[in-house]
Amino acid sequence: MTDTRQVPHVPGGRRLTARRVSALGAALLGVSVLVSVLGAGYLWPLFLFPLLLSAVFFFELGSLLVTFWLGNFFVLTFSLGAPATPAQVRQALIGTALFFVAGLLLGRVERRSHNTRAVLAASSLTDRLTGLYNYGTFVDYLHNEVTKVERYGGELTLVMLDLDHFKQFNDRHGHETGNGLLNRVGTTLRAAVRDADLAARYGGEEFAVLLRGDESHGYELAERLRRAVETLAVEVRGGEDVFCTISAGVASYPVGAADETELVERADDALYESKRRGRNRVTIYTGVADQRELPASLIA
């Protein structure tokens, strides 16, 4: 069995950016109005709020946005009011420069903090060795996708894959070489699946791919993966290249299973039917007594 890792996709990124731009724009406009009403003495403390907001939302770029607004605010204020004294101009220039430097520092700190949080979040969702999603993420995603199919219709297909004779591979070539093979397989899966699909390390040397579509889509993907893994060369001690094969089982929901638990069981049954028939093949689940390796409709 196997775990899996991938960088999670965060939906709604553009909407979030639009909301942040709107919030920062409203903050700058609101602070500018307050300073105009209350007087210049409130300028620096009030402008600290949008500066902090911009650093959190847009990192170093945020300091540029606030500084640009602040500079234009001064120009507008001086052009509409009494002529600025040299002391006022000097104060405005120094204050704007200090705001710019402070914003850069705040933005840099916030960027590093954001990157650290992103790494920690990704590590909780993915498998370090293969770069695929882990078992926990797979289970949550499977439940959500089954719920969507129940509510909106459609079809969901699960492909379970297992490296053939992996224990013997480890015993013969060592665990480090085995880990290298798992890493290569993870890379192959990530490259083969669509953004809308999820590839996971289910446990040990077993992998799972969940995709929207019927069993024919699952079979075609599983066959591509089987052929790709078959050609993976792993270098062992002495410079020799060794190869490994993979067996797969395919099942679909709701046609082939009543719920998410049964979907996993059906795909697993098909996987072990592939093992029973000699490995390095794909089997589609069509019932306990009617599993098939290759539907006639899918023969190239």
Cα–Cα distance for residue pair 143/145, rounded to 1 Å? 6
pLDDT at 292: 52
CB atoms within 10 A of CB 285: 26
Q: What is the pTM of this model?
A: 0.63
Task: Please report the domains of the chain, with CATH numbers, ordered by start residue.
Answer: 13-125 (no CATH), 135-298 (3.30.70.270)
pLDDT-derived band at 77, boundaries 50, 70, 90: confident
The winner for highest mean pLDDT among 33-37, 78-82, 89-93 is: 33-37
- Per DSSP bridges, beta strands 198-203 and 206-212 are antiparallel
Q: Give the whole-number percent of the chain exceeding pLDDT 90.
A: 46
The per-residue pLDDT for range 288-297, each reduced to its tens digit, is 444 555 443 3
DSSP for 105-146 reads: HHHHHHHHHHHHHHHHHHHHHB-TTTSSB-HHHHHHHHHHHH
Cβ–Cβ under 8 Å, residues 54 and 103: yes
The per-residue pLDDT for range 146-172, each reduced to its tens digit, is 999 999 999 999 999 999 999 999 999
Residues serving a catalytic function are 205
The per-residue pLDDT for range 165-220, each reduced to its tens digit, is 999 999 999 999 999 999 999 999 999 998 889 999 999 999 999 999 999 999 99
